Amino acid sequence: MEKDKYILAIETSCDETAVAIIKNGREIIANVVASQIESHKRFGGVVPEIASRHHVEQMTVVLEEAFSESLLTWDDIDAIAVTEGPGLVGALLIGVSTAKALAFAKHKPLVGVHHIAGHIYANRFEREFAFPLLALVVSGGHTELILMREHGNFAVIGETRDDAAGEAYDKVARMLELPYPGGPQIDRLASTGKETIAFPRAWLEEGSYDFSFSGLKSSVINTIHNAKQRGETLRKEDIAASFQASVVEVLTEKTYKAAMEYGVKQVIVAGGVAANQGLRTALDQRFADTGIPLLIPPLKLCTDNAAMIGAAGTIFYEQGKRAGWDMNAHPGLLLT
Ligand code: KG4
Ligand code: ZN
């Protein structure tokens, strides 16, 4: 029988300091996430310098907590995986430096992981992948349709030309004076509102799997301003529901078309916006009669965590991918 593999994973690309220990790529032994949301809330978004400082303060605490949760010791750990990009450079650097120092001191192999590969692999805790598969990645920094033909192989077939879906959610939430992060707030309001405003859908050219959310965002701003000038008050719930309807329809239709064109065996939804109830329901309905299984991670694995980095890191480790001591933080790292 093959020996169990334990990967220690670190994620610090944005505002969560996270450490996890993963067994054989699919079992979570420990998963600790220290969120900084409270510190960034009053600024209405993530402040990079504050994020880095928090990561420095939290890293050792989170690491120790992960080990105590796991009941394992360093002797059990086979390799260390860390997010090397994309993300905030100062934030990424704390994770990368920690991983390098630990790998050096404890004589462990080091594996670099792309943050989005992590989001996709969060789904492997639920079910084994079947290829080809299509992943819709929707987060604060990303909106991409990715075709995977095998493990560790990522082809981007569509991406946003401007704002990411989560970014659009957060910006619209700010206009509605909702607290950061706005995505969950809009999702909650939308569930009680009605689609009373016909916001545009950015389909782009025929056959394109790219996205665009800046026109929608401007349309929401204009609608709010015009209403104010006329002395009208729009219900926040209805603006939220109308905005969400536009985002969800475009995401769902493009994902459906791509899934049909490429004849995929699974559709995966990943990233923070995968937590969106409206999107989950719409995708569920769209794929209900197709026979194609739809995989969406449980809520706590949708937003940033290190378990997902460990899941992807295990695959890369098994494929023999190793990072050297010259590994660096790559804020604009591409998924290849
Ligand atoms: O993946 P994530 O935690 O961090 C990035 O890698 O960006 O995603 C965070 C994003 C934020 O923009 C947040 O507003 C959005 O995910 N988000 C949501 C929901 N929950 C989180 N957007 C819409 N509906 C939600 N329920
Ligand atoms: Zn993320």
Closest ligand by atom to 297 CA: 1
Pocket probe for ligand 1: among 121, 303, 309, 335, the residue whose CB has the most ligand atoms within 8 Å is 303
Give the integer Cα–Cα distance in Å for 216 and 201: 7
Residue intervals of the chain classified under CATH 3.30.420.40 are 6-120+302-318, 130-296
For 68-108, the pLDDT digits (tens) are 999 999 999 999 999 999 999 999 999 999 999 999 999 99
CB 79 within 8 A of CB 51: no
Give the integer Cα–Cα distance in Å for 246 and 215: 11
Half-sphere exposure (Cβ direction) of 122: Cα atoms closer than 13 Å = 32
Q: Domain 6-120+302-318 is in which class?
A: alpha beta
Q: Is the pLDDT of residue 44 over 80?
A: no
Please name the CATH architecture into which domain 130-296 falls. 2-Layer Sandwich (3.30)
Pocket-forming residues, ligand 1, beta carbon under 6 Å: 14, 139-141, 166, 169-170, 181-184, 187, 271-273, 275-276, 303-304
Minimal-distance CA residue to ligand 1 atom 3: 303
Section 303-326 average pLDDT: 97
Section 109-118 average pLDDT: 97
For 205-214, the pLDDT digits (tens) are 999 999 999 9
With 0-12 / 13-18 / 19 or more C-beta atoms within 10 angstroms meaning exposed / middle / buried, residue 87 is buried
